[in-house]
Structure 1
Amino acid sequence: MHLRATETTLTGVAGLVGFGVFLRELDVDAELQRTFGRLKPDSRVVFPMAAQMRLLIDAAVAGEARVFGLEAPANDPLFVHLAGGVVPSIDRVYRDLRRFDDKALAALDSMLAEHGLAPLAKAPPDIIHLDVDTTVEPLFGSQEGARPGPNPRYHGRPSYHPRLVRVAETNTVIGAQLRPGDTNFGNDDVPDVERCLDRVRAAAPEAAVYVRIDAAGDCTQLLRAIADKRAFFLTKPRLTRDLAGAISLVTRWKTVDWDADGRPRRQVAEVLFRRGEWADLAARVIAVRTLDRTHARPIYLWGDLDYPVQVYLTN
């Protein structure tokens, strides 16, 4: 064991070699140069835009999701070698990222979708589930675009509210948008969801498509757009007082699961309920009550029954 100031034969990111071969086979490096080389057109630049993007991809694979995290792998000899011998400064990377215009962002989104849909084009399944999901990313600085919004853990902190569209069968993302923290999910997201549905239809025209959204999906314009694209939707409606009352009055429940003693453990029922804004929307309200404690915030509607209930809206 020799003690040295720096050790050039040890690395914590050896997997980046195989990952780089994988990307090379997919022609990602050349595609980055073709698509984003115009952002730094001078042939004399030290850090071309394609190289900067590959640097960030490698950093993300190595576990550093932020630009600021480049400081950690910058001391790793293999990471430095794959970066071309020199890891650029954080300020340099931030300045290059500011070069992205609307055209470049659209091209990046298209590139993401192309790779995300590639497995579907090779072997289209009969059923495709699209998961549309948003999440809160709290921040502890003054990053561009970060604004205070709904934040269940860090109240009042600025955050981002990104939205992702994922194909469940292949576990690949085909649409993504980084949004300020005060941006809600709703009518403004309709064009992006429609674009993702069109992409899936082009890749697998014969498949049945199901769009799954959490409670934020209770947006009539969005659900109508999904139905118009010949797709099914599944979301959780807002459990308003009138809907809760309609569920509590249901008398016919179908048992679909029993416990070891033969008692009903899970029951379902279709609720004859229509909210005013659903006037021309073909939708069904399905209630599921179960004895399993699978939800952090159970909702009880019956005083004499220990059944928490979950409600779903679908076409």
Structure 2
Amino acid sequence: MCAHPLRAHRCGRRHPDARVEATEVAGAAPAARRGARCRWATSGGGERACRTRGRTAAPVAVAGPTCRAAGSRGASRRRAAGVSTRAEVRSGACPGGCRRAASRSGGAGPMNAPDVLRGRRVILFDLDGTLYDPVSSRSYLDEVDRITGLRVQEIYGADDPREGFARLEADRKDRGFASLGETLQAAWGIGLAEMNRWRERWTRPERFLSPDRKVREAIEALLERHVLIIGTNASPRIARAILRVLELPEAWFAGIFASEDVGVAKPARAFFEAVCERTGFPPSAFVSVGDRPSSDLVPAAELGMGTWLVKRSHDIYRLASISQEHGNAS
């Protein structure tokens, strides 16, 4: 019987009491899967290392081209809500959020076009890294990564969060899922709600974030001509806590659409379809605003939404300026 406390150590031995079979070893070759032995099972729990895991302990690979932004914006950033990571960026989308690379992704179309608001009444905002500056607030995003990583480390019985994420990413690829959140749900029965409870318990946005007067003024200006909505993989509780810290009144937003309530997480196209269905607006009425092309913009553009990439807070100011200059031509 496997002595591992999670009873599902990612190793190559067929433990009678474990849920994970040898064929599910992430990153191991078939021969290694069949013949591997788990040190945890043979040493009474003294070591968590599995002899096959070296194949998955490398840094998480990111698909697509790279640019300077990948390093400056934290290419390895993970978010507890939905456990998303830059490794989920699909081919053609730069891990740093590069507009040029992202524009080649899945028909995303032109981003940040001067006429993006023309004829579009609804603005769908992402939360993390969008309504607060992703660079100046990086310490908060790093804290979210750290807390999420500890949970993933525990789930996979890894030595550290980085290795835990590497195993999770390898698991995602093996199973063919679009996101790490889907992988956790399928492999371990751990959904967005549970990961969000973990984030709610261990992170305090008020310790890291602060109000931005210019962002508040920009959001208020957009409110004059548009319906504002938040769409996030975070929980409603996390979203409201962040809005309070940023001093953005919840009443300014017609709704907060959280993935755990919608039943599907970004980057799934079904998330954006659900938002359209619940609000009663067609995709052509939306502009999706976010900091990650692969998650916030590409699937939205595939539905026919306009897209606006946020790399720094000044991109929010610019969007508000466009709204004031051109109005809403609906």
Q: TM-score, normalised by structure 1?
A: 0.23
Structure number with higher helix proportion? 2
Relative contact order, higher structure (CA 8 A, sep 6+): 2
Structure number with higher strand proportion? 1
Q: TM-score, normalised by structure 2?
A: 0.22
Q: Which protein has the larger Cα radius of gyration, Structure 1 or Structure 2?
A: 1
